[in-house]
Amino acid sequence: MGLQEALAGLLSAGPAHGYQLFSMLEGELGPAWETRQSHLYLTLARMERDGLVSGRRIRQRALPDRQVFELTSKGRALADRWLTSAEPQSEMVVKLAIARVARPELFADLAAAISDEVAGRLKALRQLSRSLKAGFQQQALALEIARRQAEIRWLSSIRDDTAAILAQPRAQKRGRHDEQGSERLA
């Protein structure tokens, strides 16, 4: 999964520190998706090295300093590209989850664009399935067709319920490092 793109997407709503990003991903996506905290911090460091984010240290009263990350223009371009493209299909759940919290104005168009793409794939699979008869090919394709069907039905319900989905409050996980009264970032 493109964690780098996901983090850029989240940061396109405004600066945040690593744990905030972690808890947002965990809170929004729940048990079906897992983010490794160590991987997330490593990815942020790599993004800083590559000029996608810039970090600055914030001093806290009782806790260690925390680093706050902000997108550079290069990072913002990456986020915009990712949140407006239907590809890759394997990231559709994460993309829509992030668009919902970070860029709700892109959510409906993104869902429609992904839906078009899946419909095109489903059609191509059906066309293939009409001509392939050998071996186990039909059965192998039938599963791919069923998967695309499930996706397109799921996307359609997302599109029908867009207003309610966007109105749903954020499910941010309460982190043990959150300090009351500390600077509000996102």
Partner 1 sequence: MMSRGPSALREPAIELRGVGRVYPSGTERVSALRDLDLIIYPGEAVAISGISGSGKTTLLNLIAGLDHPTSGEIRVLGQNLAELSEGKVTAFRAKSIGLVFQDPHLLPGLSAIENVALARLPWGRRSELMREAKKLLEALGLGQRLHHPPSRLSAGERQRVGLARALLGQPQILLADEPTGNLDAKTTEGLIALLSELREEMGITLVIATHDPAVAAMAQRIVRLLGGTIESDRSVPALRSVDTHILQ
Residues that bind partner 1 (CB under 8 A): 89, 112, 115-130, 144-146, 148-149, 152-153, 155-156, 159-160
Of 58 and 124, the one with the shorter C-beta distance to partner 1 is: 124
Report residue 159 as tokens: 């599109």
Nearest-approach distance from CB 10 to partner 1, in angstroms: 27
Give the closest residue to 171 by CA, choosing from 25, 14, 15.
25
Residue pointed to by tokens 């240290």? 57
Nearest-approach distance from CB 70 to partner 1, in angstroms: 35
What is residue 4's DSSP assignment?
H
Dmax over CA atoms of the chain, in Å, equals: 70
Q: What is the CA radius of gyration of the chain?
A: 19
Question: In residues, how long is the chain?
Answer: 186
Nearest-approach distance from CB 146 to partner 1, in angstroms: 8
Q: How far is CA 72 from CA 12, 128, 153, in A?
A: 10, 44, 37
Of 70 and 144, the one with the shorter C-beta distance to partner 1 is: 144
Of 47 and 155, the one with the shorter C-beta distance to partner 1 is: 155
**Residue 113 burial (CB < 10 Å; 0-12/13-18/19+)?**
middle
Give the closest residue to 86 by CA, choosing from 107, 119, 114, 123.
114
Of 93 and 186, the one with the shorter C-beta distance to partner 1 is: 93
Of 42 and 146, the one with the shorter C-beta distance to partner 1 is: 146
Nearest-approach distance from CB 140 to partner 1, in angstroms: 9
Nearest-approach distance from CB 118 to partner 1, in angstroms: 8
